[in-house]
Amino acid sequence: MERTVPASLSPSLRADPPADDTVARMLAGADGPAEIAARIAAINRELARWQTNGGLATWRPGPDLDPRAADALLDYLAACLHLPEWADRAAIARAETLFMDMSMLSCTLLFCASLPECYVLPDLSAVLHAAGQLEAHTDYRVRSTAAMIFPVMLAGGLTTPDGGGVAQALKVRLIHATIRYLILRGPPAAALGAAPLPPLAPAGGCMYHTLYAHGWDTSVNGLPCNQEELAYTLLTFSYVFVRGLRTLRLGLAPHDEAAYLHTWNVLGHVLGIERGLMAQTMDQAQHDFEAMQARGRRLVRTPDPRPRLAADLMQAMENEIPIRFLKPIPTLLTRLLCKGDATRDLGLNERTPFLARALFAIGLVLVRSVDAVARVFRPGFSISRMLTRALGQRLVTHFLLDQTRPLRLPDALLNEVNDATTAWRTDPTAPRWMHRVEARLAGRAPPR
């Protein structure tokens, strides 16, 4: 399919007019970061009611919401609520089935492939650095990402009234627009061609104050959370995910890969990403992904925020592994799933000692060899899948199901995640002895 991209502005200078206009209307007249923060907090309390896709169609603003914000949100929903006409519901249903079938492996790929690749673009990392979302709040960033992925990929997440994928995506879209408004201290359109914004002394300690005071040069950095960065992030959850399955020798059939890409493109539409920036095939996705990384690397930042962000993510995963000898595994797996240039950008190449790297490489060859031989006699057999599932179970249990961590998940979403992860505890393609080994590695009681 031929793609067309508007030629008037570079994707790095294009944002999301419907969401940006909504945020500008909601925050119009707010004087300074303190008043903006107070108004955002009131809006967020209202957005917390956006739980299901069907609920959005009947949502009405509460009596305490500012009428300007209420009208802006109603117009936003009217314009952005529906799936695109090119959405293929059969392909979406297939992708949901694949996500459920891959179960805990999906979570491992999220932690060790998709999230690290998000931080390779310097500008994207700079925004996260400014917000402190990984350095000080790794748990928050991981949980907020999962709060979108699970509602989207669980059965009916995008296509049924009871699903929550569209509701979550539309909230995330407004978050992106709010970040742009705060960093630029106004609507994105006003920042094009304007002088650089100098850093300010933060008026308070919250994230909103930090973003407002950060400073930004649009002529050098483009717009925050611009179209290219959004399209790149989308690829980290579609292309990088499928690429990771290939790397683990657990790749999908071509039509299943296409269904997975398509589903994330449908989500991309709901998130406000331009159709012309979405990849339709894995080859196209690889080309676009590598081109975006190459362009991003041309911008040198001092200090470089990427190694610190990656190190904090790796440390958070290592903290959940009780056996000291096995703690390097998240970093080693990330090095395997991400390409060499990316791991260099993230400062991961020297993070683990030589002995750990050597043992991991030997173990990888051994596991792949055993899997290849065993599949001749038992199709679907995979030690690789067992090990990555076990890691995924530990991470999901500690990062997502623990409600004492930052960003308490809504009860409805928590119940969905808990039901899904309970169903994922047994791999139907594995023999019984592998169930017991996986359970012990995951830190739970073996099945009887």
| Alpha helices (runs of H) in 214-251, residue ranges in sequence order | 218-221, 227-237, 239-247
Parts of the chain with a pLDDT under 70: 1-7, 103, 126, 128-141, 203-205, 399-418, 420-421, 423-424, 445-448
What six digits make up the tokens of 389?
A: 């599932």
Does residue 111 sit in the same domain as residue 188?
Answer: yes
Does residue 101 sit in the same domain as residue 242?
Answer: yes
- Let me know if residue 310 belongs to a domain: no
Report how far apart, in Å, the C-alpha atoms of 443 and of each of 263, 386, 426 are. Answer: 33, 14, 14
248 touches 104 (CB < 8 A): no
| Residue 18 to residue 50: CA distance in whole angstroms | 18
What six digits make up the tokens of 126?
A: 């700079």
How confident is the model at residue 6, as a pLDDT? 47
Residues β-bridged to residue 216: 197
How confident is the model at residue 408, as a pLDDT? 58
Indicate the DSSP class of residue 136: T
pLDDT tens per residue across span 428-446:
777 888 878 877 877 776 6
What six digits make up the tokens of 412?
A: 């409805």
* Cα within 13 Å of Cα(260), Cβ side: 27
What six digits make up the tokens of 159?
A: 């296509």
| Residue 35 to residue 40: CA distance in whole angstroms | 9
For residue 203, give every residue at least 6 positions away whose Cβ sits within 8 Å of its Cβ, in sequence order, or none.
32, 33, 34, 209, 212, 213
Give me the number of domains the chain comprises: 2
**CA 223 to centroid of chain Cα atoms:** 20
Does residue 351 sit in the same domain as residue 280?
Answer: no
* Cα within 13 Å of Cα(377), Cβ side: 5
Domain boundary among 297, 331, 355: 297
pLDDT tens per residue across span 374-386:
888 888 888 888 8
Does residue 374 sit in the same domain as residue 412?
Answer: yes
Does residue 353 sit in the same domain as residue 206?
Answer: no
Does residue 253 sit in the same domain as residue 333?
Answer: no
Q: Which residue has the tokens 């790796």?
A: 314
How confident is the model at residue 100, as a pLDDT? 79
**In 3D, which of 122, 119, 124 has the Cα closest to residue 299?**
122
| Residue 5 to residue 27: CA distance in whole angstroms | 30
What six digits make up the tokens of 231?
A: 């399209």
179 touches 224 (CB < 8 A): yes
- Let me know if residue 178 belongs to a domain: yes
| Residue 380 to residue 213: CA distance in whole angstroms | 53
Taking residue 413's Cβ as centre, other Cβ atoms within 10 Å add up to 19
| Residue 383 to residue 427: CA distance in whole angstroms | 11
Does residue 109 sit in the same domain as residue 251?
Answer: yes
Is residue 391 classed exposed, middle or buried when 0-12, 13-18 and 19+ CB atoms within 10 A define those classes? Answer: buried
Does residue 236 sit in the same domain as residue 347?
Answer: no
- Let me know if residue 4 belongs to a domain: no
How confident is the model at residue 438, as a pLDDT? 79
Domain boundary among 267, 297, 327: 297
Does residue 258 sit in the same domain as residue 329?
Answer: no
Report how far apart, in Å, the C-alpha atoms of 19 and of each of 77, 180, 274, 382 are. Answer: 10, 10, 13, 45
For residue 423, give every residue at least 6 positions away whose Cβ sits within 8 Å of its Cβ, in sequence order, or none.
100, 103
Does residue 287 sit in the same domain as residue 221?
Answer: yes
Q: C-alpha angle 292/115/182, rounded to 5°?
A: 75
How confident is the model at residue 389, as a pLDDT? 82
244 touches 113 (CB < 8 A): yes
Q: At what angle do helices 17-27 and 32-47 cross, to 10 degrees?
A: 120
- Let me know if residue 44 belongs to a domain: yes
Domain boundary among 297, 330, 364: 297
* Cα within 13 Å of Cα(382), Cβ side: 19
Does residue 288 sit in the same domain as residue 432?
Answer: no
Q: C-alpha angle 179/180/184, rounded to 5°?
A: 115
248 touches 388 (CB < 8 A): yes
Does residue 265 sit in the same domain as residue 343?
Answer: no
- Let me know if residue 212 belongs to a domain: yes
- Let me know if residue 196 belongs to a domain: yes
Parent domain of 438: 318-442
- Let me know if residue 201 belongs to a domain: yes
